[in-house]
């Protein structure tokens, strides 16, 4: 089914039809197309037919309901102009996977004319599944991974009439659930990542937290507000060592809790192994609350001062290198439903005194965890230096684009001094041809791969031109004494069918990155090191061998941070695009035998001292409820025994601790 997004017909109606232009503060219900301001928030409501309606409530709150009698409708509250805001939202989104609907931050810019979406949740259809679009990789923000795609609309309605324009999408993975919902969208993270891919925005017009429905039924009750980056708690912790800064410690040991109050003054405890290890007073804005100790065991976030209008919203926790969403947890004794407290789980809301259970500190629901010190892991098997081939808890891809050149010798020496090897160089063919004497230095610390000959925007070239760019680079690399490349990183991360086909014809796997250091964008050495600290097992970071002194200055801290997490530099597997152990290294679990007892009550996937699937060098849980293939149980990725054992030579198979 073709999903008619907002720009298809709504905006022409919104800007060309008679508008209500409501500006007062009283609640009211809209049944006709309208835009305006209400209680200090911009709003928009549009439908092409049917009974959809939208209620303007106090502040940033709006309600909506629609039935199958409505063909297409959209509405929401936000700001005009939009821009780099921290957007908080909460309320209820009442659809299911069978209904064609979405909840998203939605906006427009001019010069260039761009329609953009940050998709938080959707039903039967992913709005970014547009034909002919281009994928631009993914990045992490606000506790989730967002997949980025660009699509084009040709001579379609827009805020400036019928035009041809691009749409930018960031789609949350995993998507938020249905029913009670809340979250934070740091829009600057999306705008900056888009810009790093050449997806630039113009002058901002409106931006709203929108609900849309297409030939479906549902309702929503959403409140939107503007937050601040890096909110810190104003209340002191009563149980050290806990902090309320915005810096995440959860990837290097400890637990981060992201939560807010509804009225302000709510009090929560972090309980691990049956003991309270940290306590915080909440404000009405989301805060990142950090516990930096080493307690081990069952994790619970407990609400203990219910009364009046006090309620708590827990977005997620971070522990053991992974994010665990509250709505994925089945244990919530503070949730009020069916007329009583403790009525069920899978909700972010805590209405009553009670707790949400998040499993054990040493669980790994995602299959990709840091194996940090929290949770009883011994880390005794972790190499003392990141460059060693001794056992490591996991491997990451350290990559540098655009060399070799004047900076290469300095960078190579820093990598050796800090044992941050091996690395992967994605080189430009013309620079290799001009600096072939540097090839031996590159090879002394890693592998050399293809990054095109002249660094053009390949998506603007024809197939043969793209093929020539890649082929000339392969030849330059081999002429300088390196093996034939197996990987290709496209300039700017831009990929289309011609790029993929040209790379495939030359035996190259196209890869981009999981984490962008932003060194190309003037990031400080500290910011670059912090970006690298987001890396999880199998992931790849983008950095550059260029005149970026801050990249050089960050090497020592990057190496230190990786060692603290038990992660080692690895090679990038051409079969999977993931970082795996270099030749001679042996990956092993960083958990001691005393810390491998799983299953958490919130997951149906066993990943403990039984067996796991070694999938091309990375371990994943084995499915317990799925007969074959890959399974998704409670949003947890797992692989069945039959599929795991079908990889063939060099792939892997079921392994048991």
**Could you say which of 115, 322, 327, 494 is catalytic?**
115
Which residue from 6, 12, 210, 205 is spatially nearest to 109, judged by alpha carbons?
A: 205
**Could you say which of 120, 212, 266, 327 is catalytic?**
212
Q: Which residue has the tokens 């600057």?
A: 188
410-421 b/e (C-beta count within 10 Å ≥ 16 → b): ebbebbeebbbb
Query: Rounded to the nearest 10 degrees, what angle do helices 408-417 and 549-565 cross at?
Result: 20
DSSP annotation of 161 reads B
Token reading at 587: 């990956």
Strand order in the sheet with 652-656: 618-621, 611-615, 652-656
> Is there a contact between 629 and 409 (Cβ–Cβ < 8 Å)?
no
Which residue from 86, 84, 126 is spatially nearest to 103, judged by alpha carbons?
A: 126
The DSSP string of 331-366 is -BTT-EETTEET---S-SEE-SSEEEEEEETT--SS
The DSSP string of 565-596 is HTEEE-EEPTTTSSEEPPTT--B---S-GGG-
Token reading at 258: 């992201």
Token reading at 331: 């244990």
Question: Is 212 a residue of the active site?
Answer: yes
DSSP annotation of 310 reads B
Token reading at 424: 């992967």
Question: Is 322 a residue of the active site?
Answer: no
Spatial separation of the C-alpha atoms in residues 5 and 65, rounded to whole Å: 18
> Is there a contact between 637 and 367 (Cβ–Cβ < 8 Å)?
yes
What Rg do the C-alpha atoms of the chain give, in angstroms? 25
Question: How many residues are listed for the chain in this entry?
Answer: 657
Spatial separation of the C-alpha atoms in residues 646 and 545, rounded to whole Å: 40
Query: Is the sign of the CA dihedral 173, 174, 180, 182 positive or negative?
Result: negative
Bridge-based pairing state of the strands 275-281 and 267-272: antiparallel
Token reading at 246: 């915005």
582-596 b/e (C-beta count within 10 Å ≥ 16 → b): beebebbbbbeeebb
Which residue from 182, 51, 175 is spatially nearest to 124, judged by alpha carbons?
A: 175
Beta strands in 420-548 (DSSP E): 423-427, 446-450, 487-488, 509-510, 515-516, 540-544
What amino acid positions are annotated as catalytic residues?
A: 115, 212
């Amino acid at each position: 089914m073709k999903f008619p997004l907002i720009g298809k017909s709504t905006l022409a109606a919104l800007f060309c039809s008679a508008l209500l232009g409501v500006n007062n503060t009283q609640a009211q219900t809209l049944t006709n197309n309208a835009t305006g301001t209400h209680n200090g928030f911009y709003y928009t409501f549009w439908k092409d037919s049917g009974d959809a309606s939208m209620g303007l409530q106090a502040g940033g709150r709006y309600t909506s309901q629609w039935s199958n009698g409505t063909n297409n409708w959209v509405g929401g509250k936000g700001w005009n102009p939009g821009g780099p805001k921290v957007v908080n939202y909460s309320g209820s989104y009442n659809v299911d996977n069978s209904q064609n609907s979405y909840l998203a931050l939605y906006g427009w810019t001019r010069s260039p004319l761009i329609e953009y979406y940050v998709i938080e949740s959707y039903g039967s259809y992913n709005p970014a599944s547009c034909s002919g679009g281009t994928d631009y990789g993914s990045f992490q923000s606000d506790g989730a991974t967002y997949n980025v795609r660009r699509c084009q609309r040709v001579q379609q309605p827009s805020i400036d009439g019928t035009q041809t324009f691009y749409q930018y999408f960031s789609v949350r993975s995993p998507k938020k659930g249905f029913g009670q919902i809340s979250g934070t969208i740091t829009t600057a993270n999306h705008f900056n990542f888009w810009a790093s891919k050449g997806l630039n925005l113009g002058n901002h017009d409106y931006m709203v937290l929108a609900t849309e429905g297409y030939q479906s039924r549902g309702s929503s009750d959403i409140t939107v507000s503007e937050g601040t980056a890096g909110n810190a708690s104003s209340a002191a912790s009563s149980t050290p060592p806990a902090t309320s800064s915005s810096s995440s410690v959860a990837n290097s040991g400890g637990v981060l809790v992201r939560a807010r109050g509804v009225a302000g003054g709510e009090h929560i405890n972090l309980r691990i192994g049956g003991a309270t290890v940290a306590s915080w007073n909440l404000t009405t804005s989301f805060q990142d609350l950090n516990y930096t100790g080493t307690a081990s065991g069952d994790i619970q976030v407990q609400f203990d001062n219910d009364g009046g209008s006090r309620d708590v919203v827990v977005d997620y926790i971070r522990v053991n290198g992974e994010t665990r969403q509250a709505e994925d947890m089945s244990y919530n004794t503070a949730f009020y439903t069916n007329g009583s407290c403790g009525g069920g789980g899978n909700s972010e809301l805590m209405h009553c005194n009670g707790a949400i259970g998040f499993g054990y500190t040493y669980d790994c629901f995602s299959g990709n965890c840091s194996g940090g010190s929290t949770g009883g892991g011994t880390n005794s098997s972790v190499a003392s230096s990141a460059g060693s081939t001794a056992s490591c808890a996991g491997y990451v891809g350290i990559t540098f684009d655009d060399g070799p050149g004047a900076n290469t010798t300095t960078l190579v020496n820093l990598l050796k001094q800090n044992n941050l090897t091996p690395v992967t160089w994605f080189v430009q063919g013309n620079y290799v041809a001009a600096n072939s004497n540097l090839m031996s230095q590159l090879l002394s610390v890693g592998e050399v791969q293809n990054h095109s000959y002249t660094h053009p925007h390949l998506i603007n070239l024809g197939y043969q031109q793209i093929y020539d760019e890649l082929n000339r680079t392969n030849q330059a690399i081999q002429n300088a004494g390196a093996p034939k490349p197996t990987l290709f990183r496209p300039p700017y991360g831009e990929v289309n069918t011609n790029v993929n086909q040209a790379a495939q014809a030359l035996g190259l796997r196209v890869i981009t990155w999981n984490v962008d250091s932003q060194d190309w964008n003037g990031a400080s050495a500290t910011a670059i090191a912090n970006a690298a600290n987001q890396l999880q097992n199998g992931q790849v970071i983008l950095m550059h061998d260029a005149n970026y002194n801050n990249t050089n200055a960050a090497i020592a801290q990057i190496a230190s941070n990786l060692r603290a997490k038990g992660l080692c530099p690895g090679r990038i597997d051409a079969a999977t695009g993931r970082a795996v152990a270099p030749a001679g290294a042996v990956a092993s679990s960083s958990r001691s035998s005393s810390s491998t007892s799983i299953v958490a009550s919130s997951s149906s996937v066993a990943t403990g001292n039984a067996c796991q699937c070694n999938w091309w060098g990375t371990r994943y849980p084995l499915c317990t409820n799925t007969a074959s293939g890959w399974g998704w149980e409670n949003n947890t990725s797992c692989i069945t025994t039959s599929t795991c054992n079908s990889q063939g030579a060099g792939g892997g198979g079921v392994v048991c601790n």
